[in-house]
Amino acid sequence: MKSNVSTKEFSYNRREFLKKSGLATAALSFPFSVLPEGLKGVPMGVVVHSYGIRYGSKVESTKYPGFQNAIDFMFHCHSIGAGGIQTLVGGWAEDFARKVRDERENLGMYLEGSIGLPQTDADISRFEKEVLLAKEAGVNVLRTVCLSGRRYENFKSKLEWNEFKINSTKALQRAEPIVRKHKVKLAVENHKDWKADELAQLIKSFGSEWVGVTLDFGNNVSLLEEPMEVIRTLAPLAFSTHVKDMGVKAYANGFLLSEVPLGTGIIDLKEAVILCQKYNPSMTFSLEMITRDPLQIPCLDESYWTTFENPSAQDLAKILTLVRDETYLDTLPGVKNLSAEEKLAFEEENVLKCLAYSKSQLL
- What confidence score (pLDDT) does residue 16 get? 53
Residue 272 lies in a domain: yes
Structural domain contains residue 204: yes
Given a cut of 90, whether residue 2 has pLDDT beyond it is no
User: How many domains would you assign to the chain?
Assistant: 1
> pLDDT category, 165, cuts 50, 70, 90?
very high
- pLDDT higher than 50, residue 66: yes
Domain that holds residue 346: 14-247+259-293+334-362
Taking residues 21-39, what's their average pLDDT? Answer: 38
- DSSP 8-class letter at 222: G
Does residue 314 lie within any of the structural domains?
Answer: no
Average pLDDT over residues 322-329: 97
Query: Mean of the pLDDT values across residues 153-162?
Result: 96
Give the rounded percent of residues in the chain with a pLDDT score beyond 70.
89
Q: How confident is the model at residue 69 (pLDDT cuts 50, 70, 90)?
A: very high
Per the domain annotation, does 327 fall within a domain?
A: no
Whether residue 21 has pLDDT greater than 80: no
pLDDT at 171 over 50: yes
Question: What percent of the chain is helix, strand and coil (3-state, nearest 5)?
Answer: 45, 15, 40
Q: Compute CA distances 349 → 147, 214, 259, 300, 319, whole Å.
A: 29, 25, 13, 34, 30
Residues facing 84 on adjacent strands: 110
Burial 176-202 (b: 16+ CB within 10 A, else e): bebbbeeebbbbbbbbbbbbbeebbeb
Q: What is the pLDDT of residues 222-264, one digit of tens each?
A: 999 999 999 999 999 999 999 999 999 999 999 999 999 999 9
The answer as to whether 254 is a domain residue is no
pLDDT for 18 beyond 90: no
Task: Give the sheet arrangement for strand 245-251, strand by strand.
Answer: 245-251, 254-260, 295-297
**What CATH number should be reported for the domain holding residue 279?**
3.20.20.150
Tell me the whole-structure pTM to 2 decimals: 0.89
